[in-house]
Chain A
């Protein structure tokens, strides 16, 4: 157990729908990073939050948004889902505000859009 908890583990939904993925970071970690893993693109950075504030954005679609709450858990919201959004979504946490050192990944949420 990495200490980073992601729920749900699996999600099947229809095109056009909206889903929320949840991530609880390791105890003491203030940064949460979201990554998308697909067969064709590999692991791609989406967005980072540190202590409730957005710190960095990657190739995140406008249909996707995230937030980090006062208890430091984070949610990734995916809306107007398309078949191509089917992927594994990982969050990672770190104690640092910057730098991927000591990243710890969760086990991911597998999203299937049908």
Chain B
């Protein structure tokens, strides 16, 4: 059972454009929603995270938007750069499974120069 659904699988954006990746979750006990960035040959690295008590969190060019009623959250990358080309994973944790992260399947982002 996939508890976190991520879309799209892949995304191509021009330099300077906005990249948007969406995730939906099922478990209403989830209370921590991080996004991870993974470059080839590296492990996932925490990018930004949000709790459900806020609807938006911004760190530099990266913004998480959170919609608790719809059980959805998204990552927006403003002014996308070629260096942002990587695989992005959304994840969720909380409730009885707060010891682990449940990951989405990932989005391969390519930013063309």
Instruction: Tell me the A residues contacting B by CB distance below 8 Å.
Output: 2, 4, 33, 42-45, 48, 55-56, 58, 90, 92, 98-108
Say yes or no: B32 contacts A48, CB within 8 Å.
no
Instruction: Tell me the B residues contacting A by CB distance below 8 Å.
Output: 32, 34, 36, 41-46, 49, 89, 91, 93, 98-106
Q: Which of A103, A104, A108 contacts B101 (CB 8 A)?
A: A103
Residues of A within 8 A of B42 (CB): 107-108
CA gap between A55 and B99 in the complex, in Å: 9
User: Would you give 10 A-B contacts (Cβ < 8 Å), ordered by A?
Assistant: A42-B104, A42-B106, A48-B100, A56-B99, A56-B100, A90-B44, A98-B98, A100-B93, A100-B98, A107-B42
Q: How many A-B residue pairs have CB under 8 A?
A: 57
Known A2-B43, A99-B93, A100-B32; judge A42-B101 contact (CB<8 A): no
CA gap between A34 and B27 in the complex, in Å: 22
- Minimum CB–CB distance for B26 against chain A, Å: 15
Q: Which of A33, A42, A48 contacts B105 (CB 8 A)?
A: A42
